[in-house]
Amino acid sequence: MAVRKIRWYVKAQLGVLLLPAGLCVFGEAVIRKGQEQGPWFWFGTLGLILINAGVGLMIESGLLRGYPGRELESGR
């Protein structure tokens, strides 16, 4: 049971960290494209990959449902 909770925590936190990191990298790509400097395409691609990975990890970990085992504790 403890391993399950640790795995849930790591997935949820990694998702929470990847989403804003992806937004920052994507924003950097937008700035580079606007100023016409550097490889903006690859920054944008990496940013979108990080955003999707973060959202996917948050959904997979059940972050919206809460801590694992809550349904069992509350009697649902």
* Each residue's pLDDT tens digit, 30-46: 999 999 988 999 999 99
Query: What predicted TM-score, i.e. pTM, was given to this entire model?
Result: 0.78
Cα–Cα nearest to 19, from 70, 48, 54: 54
Mean pLDDT within 7-17: 88
Can you give the pLDDT at residue 7? 84
Instruction: Tell me which amino acid residue 72 is.
Output: L
> How far is Cα 54 from Cα 25, in angstroms, rounded to an integer?
13
Measured torsion, CA atoms of residues 53, 57, 16, 19, in degrees rounded to the nearest 10: 20
Confidence of residue 71 (pLDDT cuts 50, 70, 90): low
Residue 76 pLDDT greater than 70, yes or no: no
Confidence of residue 59 (pLDDT cuts 50, 70, 90): confident
| 66 neighbors 34 (Cβ within 8 angstroms) | no
